[in-house]
Amino acid sequence: MRSRVITFAFGATLLTNVVGQANDSTVCGTYVEALGSTEFTRLTLRPDGSFLLKHGAVMPNRSKPVMTFTALTVESEGTWSSASDGVVLNPDKQPREPRKPSIHLEATMDHSSDSIVVRFDHLVSVYEDGILETTSRVEMSPTTLYLNKRRHFFNAVRGIPRFRGCLFSPKLKHPVAVDGVGMVRFPRTDLQRVGIMTNGLDAIAWFDIADPKVNHLEFTIEHAMDTDWKPRSKKVVIKRNKAFIHEWGGKVRTGSAPLVKQ
């Protein structure tokens, strides 16, 4: 009889801790990542242990977003629980390895042009239980382009914001605006290699250029998403009024752009 009482008391204590964690008032609220007037990610942690995650149509340059990349504006609801340095979204769901984007480069020479012309074509492929359902062209996601060297880079975006939407949001370095078809021009120079960094990549994807006189580059960047794209055991690090959700190499990096508590 005594052992039953002890077991019941332990179970009651454990249940109380779980409920207490799910209703941690210090982390509850809405966290937003934005650049200028464009909102990328919004996470709301509710006191009842539920969350609402809105993943925007255009993501900033991140190696791995909250879940498998999606270029659609989507929302996800679920449950969260407290962790030692933040929270875990949907802790009851086993994580899945995200699909990495497929990048194809077509490099040609245009003798009539005195510039390097680069075009970005972003596609999203939707999979249902591992089977490809649809592929569609989507609005360009900000992409970092490297010419020959890692330190010689440009952030290609649809439009360059005139101001930051939040004091804590990072300043975009070396921005270049692409036109309506995803094209941008650079001064002519010999090319030995070019690199791309975009959503879903853990490292720069480098491409060697056989002919240094090549001056027309077309990148086709195909992102993959699953119809069941909910975050699974997704760690979110919270420090004061900032939530860090982006990952590199399977770990949340607090040096990345944060979601700021509103």
User: Do residues 151 and 216 both lie within one domain?
Assistant: yes
148 and 243 share one domain: no
Are 132 and 178 contained in the same domain?
A: yes
- Residue 218's alpha-carbon distances to 31, 112, 159, 168, 182, in angstroms, are 36, 17, 20, 34, 10
Where residue 51 sits, what CATH number does that domain have? Answer: 2.40.128
Q: What is the pLDDT of residue 224?
A: 82
Do 197 and 243 belong to one domain? no
**DSSP result, 182-215:** SEEEEE----SEEEEE-TT-SS-EEEE-SSTT--
pLDDT tens digits, one per residue of 7-45: 333 343 333 344 444 457 789 999 998 877 777 889 999
Q: Are residues 121 and 213 in the same domain?
A: yes
Are 221 and 243 in the same domain?
A: no
Position 56 scores a pLDDT of 60
Residues 90 and 20 in one domain: yes
* Single pTM value for the model: 0.58
Q: What is the secondary structure of 127-138 as a DSSP string?
A: EETTEEEEEEE-
pLDDT in tens, 106-122: 999 998 889 999 999 98
pLDDT of residue 55: 74
Task: For residue 16, give the H/E element and its range.
Answer: helix 2-22
Q: How many structural domains does the chain have?
A: 2
Residue 163: the pLDDT is 46
pLDDT tens column, 109-162:
998 889 999 999 988 888 777 788 888 888 777 799 999 999 999 998 876 655
Q: What is the pLDDT of residue 231?
A: 83
Segment 203-246, tens digit of pLDDT = 999 999 999 999 999 999 998 877 766 788 999 999 989 999 88
Residue range 64-82: average pLDDT? 63
Which range marks the domain in which residue 221 is found?
102-226
Q: What angle do CA 194, 172, 249 make, to 5 degrees?
A: 65
pLDDT value of residue 1: 40
CA–CA dist 63, 34 (Å, integer):
17
Q: Are residues 146 and 170 in the same domain?
A: yes
